[in-house]
Amino acid sequence: MERLVELSEQEVQIDFQLHCKCRANVHLRSLSTTTPIAFKVQTSSPNKFLVNPPNGLIPPLSYATFQIILKPQTQLPSSFPRSPSDRFLIKTAKFHNSSEVTHMIQSESINSWFNSEQLVTYDLKLKVAYVGVFLLRHAITLSDTDTVKNIIKRQKSVVTDLSLDDSESLVRLATESSNSGKLIELLSQAGLKTIAREKLDNGDVVEESKWVSKGWADLHVAAAFNRMDEISRLIKEACEKGGSLDCRDRDGQTALHVAASKGNVEFVKMLMEGGADMNAKCDEGWTALYTAAVNGDRQTVELLMEMGADPMISAKDGRTAVDIARDKGHKEVVKILEQGEMVLTTARRGEVDNLKQLLKKGANPNYKDQYGLTALHAAAIKGHKHIVSMLIESGMDLECHDKEGHTALHLAVEGGNFETVELLVNRGANINAMSMRGATPIYMAKAMGYDNISHFFLNRGAPSSSLSLSSML
C-alpha cells in the first residue's frame, strides 16, 4: 500500500528526568492530495506513556502534531539512549469523502472508527531514544564512553546549549572519571563551550578559543560577543572588498544566525543593512527568523519581519517559524508572525475595518510573503484604493519592491486600476520606477492596452518612449 503520511523523525527523543513528566512532539505530514488521513497512535508501554491526542485527522497535504508524554519515572531507563522495549505504532487510513469525516466526528471517536471498520491501513513504527543532560551526566559518571557518544550523536544540543556553569560542571565530572581523556575528547569535539577554559585564563582569548571547534570566523565571534566596533569594521571591509557576510560555520550558520540566537537586535539590523542574507538556512534548515522564533525572542522576530524575512521557509522537519513558535508555546511570537500574514490577507481582500484593527494592535504592515509582496502590492493590484491610502498613511514605503522588482504602482497598472494608479502617483510614487527586467509603469500600461493609464502617465511627464517586448525577454 502507498504511504499515506510522512514522519518528521523516525525516532522520538525524550529528554529524560527522574520524577518529572517528559514530553516530545512528533510531526506527521499527509502525502494525500485530496483525501483526509486518519491516524491512531498505539504504544508498547501504556503504563509509561500517554499520547495527546492519541488520534486525529490530517487534511490533504497538511501537518498534524501529537505529543508523547513519559509519566514520572522513579528509575532510570533500563537501556539508553535506544530503548528496545519502548516503541510506538502509528496506524493511518484514508477517509474517502468529507461527509464521512463530518459524520464520524459527530457520532463516534476516531478510535472506535479504527476498531470497528474493516480498514486497509498503512502503519508506521516509531522508536524511542532517551537523551538529555541528566542521562549524559549519568553516563559520564559510569565512564560509559559509548553511551556518551550515542547521546551526543542523537542530540548535539545536549552539549552546545549548556550554560557556561553547566559546561564546567560536566568537564569536572569527566575529569574525575576513569576514562577522562576519551570523555573530554568527545565533549570537546561536540563543541562543549568550556574546554578551553581549563587551558587558558586570559579573558577574550578563552572565550574565542572555546568556539574553535564550531568553525567560527571573525564575524561569528564578533556577533556572539557583542563587539560593536569589530562588527562595524568587518561589515565595512566586506562591503569595500566585495566580501560576503554569509560565511558559514560547521553547522552552516552565518553570523546573522548567531546574532539572532543571542537576541542582539542591533547586530541583526547591522548585518542585514550590510547585505547579509536574511533568509540563509543552516544545515538544519533554520533561518535567523526561525532561530529567533525557537527562542521566543519577540524583538528579533519583529525586526526580521519588518525587514522582510520570509516566515514561510520550512526547516528540514517541515516546520516554519510560526509552527515552531506554536510548538514552543511562544504565544506573542506566534501572534507577530500570524499578524503579518493577516495584514497581507486583509489588504488583498479589501477588508478596511479588519486592517485598521490589525494596525491598531501593532501588526507590521511591511510583512512580505515568499514572493516579496507586501500588503501595499496586494491592495494595489486588486484596486483597493482605500486600503492603499491607509497603508501609505501608516508609513509604508511607496518604492518597496517585490522579488521581481515591481513597486505597488507597477501592480496597480497590471490590475488596470486607474483610480489606484492616480492615488499612488499623487502620493509620490515614482512613475519611472523600473522592474528587474527594466519595465516602467508606462511600458506595462502600453503593453496591456490601458490607454487611459498611458495618457495619464504621459500627462505626468513620463517619457513617451518605452522598451520593446523583445528587449525584456
Tell whether 119 and 187 lie within a shared domain.
Answer: no
Instruction: Name the band, by pLDDT with cuts 50, 70 and 90, for residue 97.
Output: low
* 343 and 463 housed in the same domain: yes
Residue 49 sits in a domain whose CATH number is: 2.60.40.10
Give 102-116 pLDDT, tens digit per residue. 444 543 577 777 876
Is the domain of 385 the same as that of 467? yes
Helices 145-154, 133-141: crossing angle, 10 deg rounding:
160
Are 86 and 58 in a shared domain?
yes
Instruction: Express each pLDDT in 245-264 by its tens digit.
Output: 998 988 899 999 999 998 88
For residues 347 and 465, membership in a common domain is answered with yes
Regarding whether 138 and 126 lie in a shared domain, the answer is no
Give the per-residue pLDDT at 1.
63
The residue out of 294, 312, 329 marking a domain boundary is 329
Burial of 291 (0-12, 13-18, 19+ CB in 10 A): buried
Region 446-461: what's the mean pLDDT?
92
Q: What's the pLDDT tens digit per position in 51-72?
A: 999 998 999 999 999 999 999 9
- Same domain flag for 402 and 438: yes
Query: Are 118 and 30 in the same domain?
Result: yes
3-state SS of the chain: helix, strand, coil percent to 5?
45, 15, 40
Indicate the number of domains in the chain: 4
- CATH number for the domain spanning 390: value is 1.25.40.20
199 with 293, same domain: the answer is no
pLDDT band for position 221 (50/70/90)?
A: confident
**Cα(first)–Cα(last) distance of the chain, in Å?**
47
- Residue where a domain stops, chosen among 130, 155, 184: 130
Quick check: 286 and 254 in contact, CB under 8 A? no
H-helix or E-strand containing 82?
A: strand 82-94
Between 147 and 186, the higher pLDDT residue: 147
Per-residue pLDDT at 473 exceeds 70: no
Domain boundary among 104, 130, 156: 130
Q: If you average pLDDT over residues 398-417, what whole number do you get?
A: 93
Regarding whether 28 and 124 lie in a shared domain, the answer is yes
Question: Cα–Cα distance between 196 and 73 in angstroms, integer?
Answer: 36
Residue 197 DSSP code: G
* 364, pLDDT greater than 80: no
Rounded Cα distance, 448 and 444, in Å: 6
- Among 63-72, 220-229, 282-291, 340-349, the minimum mean pLDDT is found in 220-229
Residue indicated by cell numbers 490533504: 60
- Is 140 found in the same domain as 115? no
**Which of 47-51, 101-105, 139-143, 454-458 shows the lowest mean pLDDT across its residues?**
101-105
pTM over the 0.85 mark = no
Spatial neighbors of 259 by CB under 8 A, at least 6 apart, are 223, 224, 267, 268, 271, 288
The predicted structure's pLDDT at residue 117: 61
Co-location of 354 and 462 in the same domain: yes
Domain that holds residue 30: 5-130
- 436-447: pLDDT as tens digits: 989 999 999 999
